Amino acid sequence: MFSQDRLVILDADGTTIDAFRAIEKTFAHHGMDIGPLARFQKRRNMFKYLGGLKEMPTNLRRQLGGIKRSKIVETLTEVYREEATMFDGMERLIRRLAVVPDIKIGIVTRNITVDPIETLTRLFDRHGIEPDLFDFLEHLPLSEHKLPYFRRIRERFRINPARAYACGDEAKDFHAAVNAGMHPFMVAYGFEDFERLHKKHEIPAEIISRTPDELSWRMLHALGLDTDAKALGAVDTADLPRAAAASPPPQALGV
């Protein structure tokens, strides 16, 4: 028997947290260069952390010349815990959703830092996000798929799949959401850009947000919550796909 609750599952790295800047700082600390975000987003997963043609020779020499992966992960962990930031507007969105009584909200992540739950708890704490704002914070190894985690969380809270939403920044996040019977939200400011998500992976353009503000507007609108564009950074509905733009924020209608 289903409850009357709704479910929102967020990804951490590349959706909620600016993971690229943390990786960039980590690479620089070890004398490497990850290259610009635009090229990082277009690379195949197996080449993402080698850099582009310009950066790859130096990065390979450093990675094959004695830098242990464990040292890189230790640095990345420190950067996450002390310096990494959430994308603008995501803290506000999480707080908005967390206070709605019938919404269960949390994170499912493959974060690769040391003790990822502790790392993310400390990062969120720096942004004023207390652990009890989340109904769950789940970590899975890189080798595992999110699909069974999505299903287990949905079943734990007895959520009707039609009232469940999941958001991520990679094609595999989209497929996990769809196969779990959930409504997918996708973002193009994380690990994969709009062109890669839409043209290569054939993810509908209508569900891809290019900015955190656009994601916030879409999510609040889908959940029937106040879409105050001023509070969300004045989202320009002209940038939204036609279907979303057809229902502009309330103040655009003068109500």
pLDDT per position as a tens digit, 157-215: 999 999 999 999 999 999 999 999 999 999 999 999 999 999 999 999 999 999 999 99
Do residues 169 and 187 lie in contact, with contact meaning Cβ atoms separated by under 8 Å? yes
Is the pLDDT assigned to residue 55 strictly greater than 90? no
Task: Give the residues across from 10 on adjacent strands.
Answer: 107, 167
Closest of 99, 103, 137 to residue 121, by C-alpha: 137
Measured CA distances, 86 to 90, 119, 137, 144 (Å): 7, 13, 16, 25
pLDDT for position 92: 96
pTM of the model: 0.83
Is the pLDDT assigned to residue 51 strictly greater than 70? no
Q: How many CB atoms lie within 10 A of CB 253?
A: 8
Do residues 28 and 79 lie in contact, with contact meaning Cβ atoms separated by under 8 Å? no
Q: Please list the residue range(s) of the chain that carry CATH number 3.40.50.1000.
A: 6-16+87-253
Domain 6-16+87-253 has CATH 3.30.70.1150: no
